[in-house]
Amino acid sequence: MRRAIYPGTFDPITNGHLDIIERSTRVFDEVIIALLMNIEKKPMFSIQERVEMIQQVNRWKHVKVDTFQGLLVHYAVSQKAQVIVRGIRAVSDYEYELQMALMNRRLEPSLETVFMMSAEEYSHLSSSLIKEVFVLGGSITGLVPQVVEERMRSKLGR
Ligand code: COA
């Protein structure tokens, strides 16, 4: 049983994240999308809203949604996961990801970090960029699932 954790803030989940999840389901028996209850980032959506949106777009039987606090490696061990999945969008992601992967390995050598290259069409995406474009009136169609776009509309009263 190969269980992987796909961690992040997911504020909100984008088609880029879904692409990585789809790829992960082909490699692992079970994938847990783990939302960090992040005190540093000021989210647009509450943790409950983010979980709900992910549940609404989760079309895979072996993909679960969960939340965590504290160290990712502690959470991964508590879930009996062997792997952390991270998406790499561009060369600029590499340095930060390398740092995290090495620190996580030092903290918990039994855990492996697996990097997946995101699809080209999503390699420029980030949740913040999507929020910025949307708030300023630009189109985000095709970049996020429809339910997410609808939630963003109602949040801004559009
Ligand atoms: N498609 C689209 N966007 C993507 C993406 C993809 N494939 N992969 C990443 N992104 C976006 C995210 O939406 C995020 O956007 P934002 O900054 O605008 O919100 C941005 O890229 C950065 O994503 P990510 O690097 O995944 O940051 P994160 O904050 O979502 O998650 C954790 C980082 C949760 C993995 C990390 O902070 C963590 O593990 N924290 C727990 C504490 C801990 O263990 N610390 C020690 C680590 S060594």
> Domains in the chain, start-ordered, CATH in brackets?
3-155 (3.40.50.620)
Nearest-atom number in ligand 1 for the CA of 99 is 48
| In the predicted structure, residue 56 carries a pLDDT above the cut 80 | yes
Protein residue whose Cα sits closest to atom 45 of ligand 1: 71
| In the predicted structure, residue 15 carries a pLDDT above the cut 80 | yes
Protein residue whose Cα sits closest to atom 20 of ligand 1: 126
Mean of the per-residue pLDDT values of the chain: 96
For residue 3, the model assigns a pLDDT of 98
* Ligand 1 in reach of 36 Cβ (< 6 A): yes
Q: How far is the CA of 9 from the centre of ligand 1 (A)?
A: 6
For residue 79, the model assigns a pLDDT of 98
Active centre residues (catalytic): 17, 41, 89, 127
Tens of pLDDT, residues 34-53: 999 977 778 999 999 999 99
* Ligand 1 in reach of 15 Cβ (< 6 A): no
Question: In the structure, what pLDDT confidence band is assigned to residue 58 with cuts at 50, 70 and 90?
Answer: very high
Quote the percentage of the chain above a pLDDT of 70.
100
Which residue has 């960090």 as its token pair?
Answer: 36
Residues 8, 12, 14, 18: what is their CA dihedral angle, to the nearest 10 degrees?
A: 50
Q: How far is the CA of 36 from the centre of ligand 1 (A)?
A: 9
The crossing angle, in degrees rounded to 10, of helices 47-57 and 146-155 is 150
For residue 42, the model assigns a pLDDT of 85
Tens of pLDDT, residues 86-131: 999 998 899 999 999 999 999 999 999 999 999 999 999 999 999 9
For residue 148, the model assigns a pLDDT of 97
Residue 120, Cβ density class (10 Å: 0-12 exposed, 13-18 middle, ≥19 buried): exposed
Of 8-12, 130-134, 143-147, 153-157, the range with the lowest mean pLDDT is: 153-157
